[in-house]
Structure 1
Amino acid sequence: MKFVFLALLFSLNLHLVRSLVECNASGCELKNYLRGPWPDRRPCKITKAFFPTNEAELLDAVAYAVKSKQKIKVVSREAHTMTKFACPNSGSDTGGVVISTASFNSNSSIVVDKSSMTVSTPPGIMLGELIDLLAMQGVTLHQTIAWNGVSPAGMVSTGGHGSSLWGRGGGTYEYLVSMRIVVPASKNEGFAKVVTVAEGSDLFHAARISLGVLGAVSQLTFSVQPMTKRSVTLSVADDASLEEDFLTLAQEHEFAEVSWFSSQKKFVSRIDDKAPLSVPGNGAETTALFLTVQAAAARSSRLSQEAAEAIGNSTFFCSVAKNTVNTVTSTGGGFFNDEQQQHFSGFPVVGYFHKFQARGGCQYTYSNSTNLALPESERLVCGWDFRAYGQFWFHVSIAISISDVGNFIRDVKQLRDLSPERLCLLDTSMTLFIRYLKASQAYLGPKTDAAEIEFMTFRDRRPGEPQTYEDVAEEIEQLLLFKYNGKPHFGKNRPHAFRDIGRKTKNLSKFLSARRKLDPQGWFSSDWSDSVLGIRGSPVTAKDGCALEGLCVCSEARHCAPDKGYFCRPGLVYREARVCSNRS
């Protein structure tokens, strides 16, 4: 019987697969990729975990869960969303099945069809591995996200993106051609079946950004393009005319991005375009955030931030921001003219297309037995590893209409001019990072051409603890969400950001119709996904300290930290905002 086989599959894979699904005799727990607390700081305990290696085993796993009346979530090896879409339960209970695609990643399943210029790929392969395999075939994906530790299924399911207003735009989901999805079925059908959705169908527009609530993806087919090169230049400018410059940049350069150091009144333009293969250059891009660090160094960096933040040392943060923006063109900002020599000699940096797509590497340290055998302080980790006392962030990523970006920039400038040093902390982690998206036909995609505006700032490891510049971060977050009706990135953001999602996406009602068709009993849904999609419940939780945790927007003092001098106040520029502030 296939369910007996599944039990064997379950037990064997506990020893064969390293992933963020951790199991022991008492059950399993799903970790997020930070290896730290979920946004609600409640663990995700689950009943069972499965690690299928192919579509047939995935079918069996879904059938087992449906027959057993268990909620189901599908996760990848290393990069579950920061939000709780990956958890099958609310966190206050234990239950549900997690299916990990960590082993559903066979290279032999990747098929490049050069006549149709498509690639079919299994759901669990790491994005970086897929990109490299495609390069060996002389093709590339059109768009990817920045980190190569995600799976292609997870990338599109949460609306992952690069940056472009050209062609179909920066959304990775815009280049999907078809998907095979395992969905629940009747007893007569074996409790699970495979459906194929393709371009042109209503189900396809739902599946492109699905949040994992439609079923388990078993195969994705993307459009690809012939290999070219790219030429990249980073340029620093005064932000006096950024309200106009941000759009001109995107119109003139295919893969443009902006890093706005608002506290320093400067911005860095990424001037990024395709180049012919005949142009000399073997350059590449790295991102320090995604590289391995020794655990002791990650801890030391975090402790330095904590010490400066504890006393409100804006001088420290402003100095870091100033040094970063003033040296980016001389140091290369993560670009190398020669990848092998790791050498930067100046812009432009020219190299093969895929060398400027997803970057990373730190995720591999967690499956390296030699590294894991080292003493904890000597191990290599990702810099955000919570267990290693790494970085921990207040993270915002919200898309607003292109037509609103100029006014948003003016609002932030006004906030900056009231107290420039209060924005320095934002400029030490990511800056205000601007990327570009086209309006989408995906039902949970952006309704208009948009700019995704992202920032990360300090967050206390302890629950309910404010940061010194809490009010600045909250006011910018609320400007994006409420004044400009921004759509939150489904894989990032704090829980309260997901209320009223129906007003911010292309067509929520059609998405819910597709969900009822593919999974009428809601086996792939959870309390959290139901609250986000407006089915029942709310992503907002009002309780003491909830605003500091991103569970609510404050409406009374207890939502902040009145015992520590933080009260609920109006915003300084956006007066409708309600922020936790220590202003007198």
Structure 2
Amino acid sequence: MKLKKSVLGIVGLISVIGLSFGLYSTENPTETLSNYQNSYECHPAVIHAPRSVEEVQQVVLAALNEGQKVMTGNRKFASQIDAACVGDGQVQITLENMNNIVAFDASSMTVTVQGGMRFNDLNDFLRSQELSVNMVTELGIFTIGGMLGSGTHGSTLTKKSNMLADYITQMKIVDGLGEVRTLTGEALNAARVNLGVLGVVVEATIQLEPGFKVSADVQGYRSDDGLEDIILDIARDNYSANIAWFPGIGRYATTLYNEVPLETLGNAYNAQADVSDIQEYFFGLLFDALHEVPGSGLQCLATKIRYGARDTSYFRDFDSGGVVASPVGESDRMQYFECKATDACVWDNLPIALQEIAIPLTQLPNWIRDVREVLASHEKTCFPLNGIYFRFGKASSSYLGMNAGRDTAYLGIEYTLRQEGNAVPKNYFVNLEIEQMSIRKYGGRPHWGKNSVAIFENIPEKFEKWDDFLAFKNQMDPHNVFTNPFWERAKGDDGLDNYRTPGCNARGECYCEIDEHCEAGTSCQIGAWYTQANICK
């Protein structure tokens, strides 16, 4: 799953290069899928690109009869890990040829689309109908099926949900027996976030709302004192709030959206991904330098530069191309940005990593206080991309959404890697202490498409309806046709202890237990403040 925002605006889908790939391989693959940064490859026996529901059924039935496994994912998949990859030598499906609108009902404000349709293409159509989707993700190029598989989300506490999956009113799936099932009611809740293990989502019906515009307000604050005391008010008092906290330099920046009538003047768009090739080149040099120069001085200097790109408007006028200080524009163009092409975003070429975890909303102030304690216990550490990035969402009726059953704060931490993508991030041990504190002390749930292998520990304990999801999967897929290595790890059948091998911490496959798990020159130690964490330092 792909992240979002350049070093002038990176927020979301960034690969853990060198930290989570190479879990399986074949000597002579006949087909290859790779993620957007070419840092992770999958080697199925065949990749099918069906053009109809009937063809999907044929593929599934053939795999069932031959005892093979099936998974759906794009050839250039938008994920850091192998969540959408079938195992080696198995059957991969891509819905690249099933990317159309199936039905549209203006009176009921619903649209039915095929699973391979991209979100930005859907928004282009809805804009022409003066309709919109209640979902505020930032990157608009994901496929609808992929968004439902991983629970792609944005940030809002004023709408029903921040997750597209919660606006689905009906879903059509080809199940593990090759049959077409139409899901509604409680079955739909089970399938809203499905990880691709229930079957192939071939169609989804989405509830829409009247079109609207939004105004955006971008502000920077040169002191983060008391942020924990006001952050929930910021989130609740605006239609959508994205907050980038830079604790290493004591600052934060906010991007706040609020609805305005459709007739309001303004034609702005979100330009955070508008980065030139030469800018990308220099960012790459900077990333290398951050790792080569001792200490955190250069890392913190880069953080100040990055903060300076977030404390003023990064929105441009759609007609003139000029920066707009007080931007107003169509809701989709303001909230969902695009890149030069589907596979030509700045993060496609730069080695960046991101971990994202969801915790109960009301615990966020305490979490911020604890992070301050962690950082104070280590040498100075800065976060030079989006700092620590906060987004927000209401509780979901989905079984496996990150916000299932609880109002949620989403915590994203991005960090740089060397250009070759195989080096441990700068001050990685600090990130790992915060990460383990988040998932253990705060019951954090990792994003299904981001993160590394180790963070998915004890997943069944984190979802109240986990057993209900497994029971529903057994109904949908009694012969376990839809499975992959990621799913086997998540549910514990392939235990994470199996990945505790020399150097596994540097690869993101384990939290260390012994020095052998660490990279050369470091040892396995307890966390400096959160002593239930193990870090290589």
CA RMSD of aligned residues (A): 2.3
1:383-422 matched pairs, under 5 angstroms: 383-385=346-348, 390-418=349-377, 421-422=380-381
- TM-score, L = length of structure 1: 0.83
Deviates more, 1:354-363 or 1:551-560: 354-363
Deviations 1:158-201 (A, max 9, x none): 0110111123221221111110001122xxxxxx1100001x22
- Whether 1:103 aligns to 2:66 is no
Quick one: higher RCO (CA 8 Å, sep 6+), 1 or 2? 2
1:281-320 matched pairs, under 5 angstroms: 281-288=266-273, 291=274, 293-294=276-277, 298-320=280-302
Distance change (3 Å), C-alpha of 1:468 and 1:251: closer
Q: Distance in 1 between matches of 2:287 and 2:506?
A: 18
Q: Distance in 2 between matches of 1:506 and 1:143?
A: 24
Contact 2:139 2:337 in 1 (8 A): yes
Matching residue of 1:11: none
Q: Distance in 2 between matches of 1:460 and 1:345?
A: 34
Q: Secondary structure at the match of 1:496?
A: coil
Distance change (3 Å), C-alpha of 1:28 and 1:318: same
Q: Distance in 1 between matches of 2:337 and 2:351?
A: 20
Q: Secondary structure at the match of 1:512?
A: helix
- TM-score, L = length of structure 2: 0.90
Q: Distance in 1 between matches of 2:345 and 2:35?
A: 13
Q: Distance in 1 between matches of 2:300 and 2:29?
A: 49
Deviation at 1:476, TM superposition (A): 1.4
- Whether 1:195 aligns to 2:158 is no
Distance change (3 Å), C-alpha of 1:391 and 1:197: same
Q: Distance in 2 between matches of 1:501 and 1:541?
A: 16
Deviation at 1:98, TM superposition (A): 0.6
Distance change (3 Å), C-alpha of 1:395 and 1:359: same
Q: Distance in 2 between matches of 1:87 and 1:116?
A: 36
Q: Secondary structure at the match of 1:163?
A: coil
Deviations 1:115-173 (A, max 9, x none): 22111111111111111111111111110422222101101210110111123221221
Larger radius of gyration between Structure 1 and Structure 2: 1
Deviation at 1:394, TM superposition (A): 3.3
Q: Secondary structure at the match of 1:84?
A: coil
Matching residue of 1:166: 158
Q: Distance in 1 between matches of 2:352 and 2:477?
A: 35
Q: Match for 1:350 among 285, 304, 328?
A: 328
User: What percent of counterpart residues are identical?
Assistant: 26
Deviations 1:31-87 (A, max 9, x none): 1122213xxxxx421111111122122222222222222110111354332221212
Matching residue of 2:82: 84
Matching residue of 1:273: 258
Distance change (3 Å), C-alpha of 1:80 and 1:141: same
Q: Match for 1:543 among 498, 501, 511?
A: 501
Contact 1:496 1:539 in 2 (8 A): no
Q: Secondary structure at the match of 1:112?
A: strand
Q: Match for 2:143 among 151, 154, 161?
A: 151
Q: Distance in 1 between matches of 2:324 and 2:160?
A: 34
Contact 2:34 2:77 in 1 (8 A): no
Q: Secondary structure at the match of 2:32?
A: strand
Matching residue of 2:23: none
Matching residue of 1:255: 240
Deviations 1:517-576 (A, max 9, x none): 000111111232022023454476101111111111111111112x33x11112222122
1:173-572 matched pairs, under 5 angstroms: 173-185=165-177, 192-198=178-184, 200-201=185-186, 203-237=187-221, 238-288=223-273, 291=274, 293-294=276-277, 298-330=280-312, 332=313, 334-336=314-316, 338-347=317-326, 349-364=327-342, 381-385=344-348, 390-418=349-377, 421-422=380-381, 424=382, 426=383, 428-445=384-401, 446=403, 447-460=405-418, 465-535=423-493, 537-538=495-496, 541-561=499-519, 563-564=520-521, 566-572=522-528
Q: Secondary structure at the match of 1:403?
A: helix
Matching residue of 2:39: 36
Distance change (3 Å), C-alpha of 1:231 and 1:297: closer
Deviation at 1:494, TM superposition (A): 0.8
Question: Mind listing any 5+ residue stretches in structure 2 that lack a counterpart?
Answer: 1-27
More helix, by proportion = 1
Q: What amino acid is the match of 2:294? A: G
Deviation at 1:285, TM superposition (A): 0.8
Deviation at 1:297, TM superposition (A): 5.8
Matching residue of 1:123: 115
Deviates more, 1:454-463 or 1:540-549: 454-463
Distance change (3 Å), C-alpha of 1:259 and 1:195: same
Contact 1:542 1:552 in 2 (8 A): yes
Q: Secondary structure at the match of 2:300?
A: helix
Q: Match for 1:52 among 36, 44, 50?
A: 50
Deviations 1:263-320 (A, max 9, x none): 12111122211111232211111222xx5753x7645532331123122352222122
Q: Distance in 2 between matches of 1:102 and 1:400?
A: 34
1:52-71 matched pairs, under 5 angstroms: 52-71=50-69
Q: Secondary structure at the match of 1:27?
A: coil
Distance change (3 Å), C-alpha of 1:412 and 1:285: same
Deviation at 1:345, TM superposition (A): 3.9
Deviations 1:89-114 (A, max 9, x none): 1xxxx3111111111113xx342212
Contact 2:86 2:92 in 1 (8 A): yes
Matching residue of 2:24: none
Deviates more, 1:455-464 or 1:66-75: 455-464
Matching residue of 2:5: none
Deviations 1:372-424 (A, max 9, x none): xxxxxxxxx43333xxxx322332100001121111111222233455731x2
Q: Distance in 2 between matches of 1:172 and 1:393?
A: 26
Q: What amino acid is the match of 2:329? A: G
Distance change (3 Å), C-alpha of 1:141 and 1:77: farther
Q: What amino acid is the match of 1:518? A: M
